[in-house]
Each structure stands twice: as C-alpha cells, then as structure tokens.
Amino acid sequence: MGVELHKDLLSSIGVDVERHAKMMGMGLAGYQAGFMSQPNRPKAMAYFDWFMSEIQAERIAEINALKAQKKPAVGTFCIFVPEEIVVGAGGACFGLCGGANPPIADAESELPRNICPLIKSAYGFKLQHTCAYTQSADFIYGETTCEAKKKTWELLGKHHPVHVMNIPHMKRERDLKMWQEEIKEFKEHIEEVAEKKLSLAEMLEGVKVINAKRDAMKRLDTLRGMHPDVMPISGKDALFISQMSFLDDPKRFTEKVNELCDELDERIKEKVSVFPENTPRIMVLGTPIAPPNWKLHTAVEGSGACIINEEGCIGHRYFKDNVDIEGVKDEDELYARLMQRYSKIDCACFTPNQGRTDKIVQMYKDRKADGVIYYTLSFCHTYNVESHLVTEALAKEGIPCLVIESDYSPEDAGQIKTRVEAFLESITFKQKAQAFQSK
Ligand code: BJ8
C-alpha cells in the first residue's frame, strides 16, 4: 500500500504514522466493501479506485514535491477559496479531511460538543496529526461563513498557520466591494508563500485549468442525472468523484473525468444502466458530504433508489459556475470576475438566499427526479433553518421530500435506512397511483 512506501515522508511532515496507517486501513476496507463491490461499474472507475489507494500517499508526495519548489500548498474547508490563484502559482489547493468520526472525540477536548461534526472532525485530525493534507498545508484557509467555523479558526491557529478571508453574509454592492478586496489580499498572501510575484497571465492560466475541471464535472452531472431511463453510474461513485475533485491534481482529474464521461456517453447510447428500470431517482440537498461520510448514499442506494445529484458544495454548487475571463486586461478586472463568480455561490450563510430554493426546484424539474432528501449535519444552523424555506417551496410544487439530520456516528445508520425505505415506498406508491390513473 502507498502509505507504507511513503512512511518517511509522512513522518517528516509530522504525521502520526502508526495511527494514520490504521485509519487509512479502515478507510480503504470501507471503500473496497462499499464501492468496489458494486456490480457493473464503469471501467474508468479504475483510476478513482487507484487514487483512493494513494490518497494519503502518492498524492501527498506530489504536493510535497511542489512545496520543495516553493509552490504554495493551501488547505481549505470551503468552496469560497479562489483556487485559481493557487493553481496559477503552480501550487496545490486541497480540501482537508473532515468527514470521519474517529477524530471527533479528540476535538471535543478543545471544542464544544454541540457544533457541527465537519468542524470537529477536521479539528480532531489536526490534533491527532492523522491527515497528511493538513500536515502538508503551508496554511489553512479559513472563512467567516458560519459562527462555528469563524471562531474555530482562532483556536486552530494555535496548532497550524491559518489565513482567514472575510466572506460577507449579504450580497449588496458594498459587501461585494469588500469581497473583491479579500480576493486581492489572498493573492498577496499566496505571493508571500511563493516568495514571488504572480502575473496576470499565470492567474488566467489557473482560471482556465479550474474552468476545465468544472466543465468536466458538469458533464458528469448531466450524464448521471439527465437521462430518466438510464443511470450509467451509481450515486455513490459519482459522489466519490466529487469528493476527490478537492484532492487530486486538477489537470489529471479533468482528463480522467472526461474519460469516464466518454464511457458513460456510450453506456447511455447502449442503455447500460447500473440500476433496473423504474428505480426511484433521488436528489440530495444540504450540507457538504465530505469523505468518508458515505452513510446517506449507502442507505439510499442500499434501499433500491439511485442518487442522481448532490446540490451541495461537494457537488453541483462547486462546479455550476465558471469564471468569465473574456476580455480581461488587468488584475483588478480579474478580481472583479472572480468575485462575480464566487458571489454566485448560494450557501445558506447568506441572507436572503431565495435563489437557492428557486434553483433546487428547477434542478428537480430538469432532472425529472422522483424525490428529494434534504440532508443537514447536526448543529449546522444555517442549513437547518433554511430547510424550512426549501421544504415549504417543494411542498407547494408537490415534490416529495425527506429531511434527515445526522452526524458521523454509525449509530443512526439503521434508523436512517428505515426512514429512507418508508420514503421510497411512498414515492413508489405515488408513481403506481399516477400510472393507474393515466390508464
Ligand atoms: S459554501 S456550505 S463549504 S460554508 S461548517 S456551514 S456544515 S455548521 S461547510 Fe460550507 Fe462553504 Fe457554505 Fe459550502 Fe454548516 Fe458545519 Fe458551518 Fe458547514
């Protein structure tokens, strides 16, 4: 296994090698049992299986090789990071581990119990020294999106360098002006790490690389979710690819996603589906689903439905918009375009956020989905409160919706499965009744 081969490197960046190897062993075993055993998977998934085996090994070696050339390595927890700037500087921008349950007990020695598991998991990984990405980061990029995160940065800063970007909670002109300044400041911070000035041409190149990545992900989203009679890839596999989009080298990732999409194109033509005809097609909304949090997808697809889309940040919200660089002549214009793109993110931290609800209804109609699951991590107040507005709008449209609040502990897996099964039964009953009426 890759981790074994890169033991010296992992140790040199401060990873607790023994504990890390145990956690990776568990993660890989979970992946093999839950993903690699699925029948009729696309052949191109072989690359992503390989990446999983090297996720905390070969990829870490690549990032550290860049660092050795003074290229920046930036760890993030949010899709507000202008990763184009890091990539333009030749560096790596990656999401930090935050989807596992084991580190949470350690985190609770410094953080309150009643905050969201994503934050506690990531914090625990830092305390345990078991995430090789965190250990590789020159700095962690924090933002002021939710209360829990913005206060956590102050504590996390005692353990690792943290740079905090002020993200406004409204989108008025004066808020956007401030946001643009924050993007500029972020670029200056990257220059400090790289110890060199970053040119406009380099930043534009970074934008092109990330735009191409988002285009490939949009292509995958269309192929998996827009063909009601064929589901060429499971929701679990598609989720895993979204999760890896925050870790892999962007150019290689784009190439591999496009290769997979070519295969899915063929599958659609030949009507090769991984689920039987009339399988209920479910959209998932809500908080980010960070690896290895595969609990919901396992429950849904293990109950005879298919997940055709994730609306959240590890999913559609991440890749739905590109940066328009047409005619950009100077740096200030580029910062304005970046701000325009990033301010389209419809995170529940904004008020008002009606655009998100409207978008969800439209996405449901475009995909001819059969139902929606609104998934919130425990103690995420923004997404939890907003679920009332979203479900109200869904009810008006007659869209079936199930709301699930959960954390990373395995205890509620059985209860979630039972609720999902009852939800799917009600959808199937409705479909049969509609088919009967139309006869
Ligand atoms: S853009 S969703 S990635 S902030 S940490 S808000 S789950 S209580 S992650 Fe997020 Fe950026 Fe928004 Fe997306 Fe809730 Fe937890 Fe806060 Fe969270």
pLDDT band at 1 (very low <50, low <70, confident <90, very high): low
CA distance 286 to 375: 5
85 C-alpha to ligand 1 centroid (Å): 22
Phi and psi (nearest 5°) for 138?
-60, -40
Averaged pLDDT for residues 111-119? 97
Among 287, 375, 383, say which to mutate for ligand 1: greatest number of ligand atoms within 8 Å of CB: 287
| Mean pLDDT in residue range 100-105 | 97
The pLDDT tens digits of the residues spanning 363-398 come to 999 999 999 999 999 999 999 999 999 999 999 999
Given this model, what pLDDT does residue 436 score?
Answer: 83
Q: Is the CB of 288 under 6 A from ligand 1?
A: yes
Nearest 10 degrees: CA dihedral of 191, 195, 198, 203? -60
* Ligand 1 atom nearest to 118, measured from its CA: 15
* Protein residue with least CA distance to atom 13, ligand 1: 313
pLDDT tens-digit profile of 124-136? 999 999 999 999 9
Give the pLDDT score at 3: 85
What would the mean pLDDT of 293-304 be, rounded to a whole number?
97
Q: How many whole angstroms from its chain centre is CA 166?
A: 21
**285 in ligand 1 pocket by Cβ < 6 Å?**
no
Atom 12 in ligand 1: which residue has the minimum CA distance?
347
| Ligand 1 site, residue 313, Cβ cutoff 6 A | yes
Q: Give CA–CA dist 350/143, Å, rounded.
A: 13
CA 287 to ligand 1 center in whole angstroms? 6
Task: Provide the total of helices (H) and of strands (E) in the chain, helices listed first.
Answer: 20, 8
CA of 120 to the centre of ligand 1 (A): 13
CB 119 near ligand 1, within 6 Å: yes
pLDDT of residue 359: 98
CA distance 309 to 299: 15
408, 117 in Cβ contact below 8 A?
A: yes
Q: Is the pLDDT of residue 307 over 70?
A: yes
- The CA 317 to ligand 1 mean position distance, Å, reads 12
Fill in the amino acid letter for 79.
I
Is residue 372 in contact with ligand 1, taking CB distance under 6 Å? no
411 burial level (CB within 10 Å; 0-12, 13-18, 19+): exposed
Output the average pLDDT for the chain: 97
Helix axes 45-54, 58-68, angle to 10 degrees: 70
What is the whole-number distance in angstroms between the Cα of residue 288 and the centre of ligand 1? 7
148 Cβ inside 6 Å of ligand 1: yes
Residue 388 has a pLDDT of 98
Using pLDDT thresholds of 50, 70 and 90, give the confidence band for residue 433. confident
Enumerate residues 6+ apart whose C-beta is below 8 A from 292.
Answer: 27, 30, 31, 99, 100
> 347 alpha carbon to ligand 1 midpoint, in Å?
7
Q: Say how many Å lie between the CA of residue 165 and the centre of ligand 1.
A: 14
Output the CA 149–ligand 1 centroid distance in Å.
Answer: 8
- pLDDT bin (cut points 50, 70, 90) of residue 336 is very high
What pLDDT does 439 receive?
77
Encode pLDDT of 163-219 as tens digits.
999 999 999 999 999 999 999 999 999 999 999 999 999 999 999 999 999 999 999
Question: 252-272 pLDDT, tens per residue?
Answer: 999 999 999 999 999 999 999
Q: Which atom of ligand 1 approaches the CA of 377 most closely?
A: 7
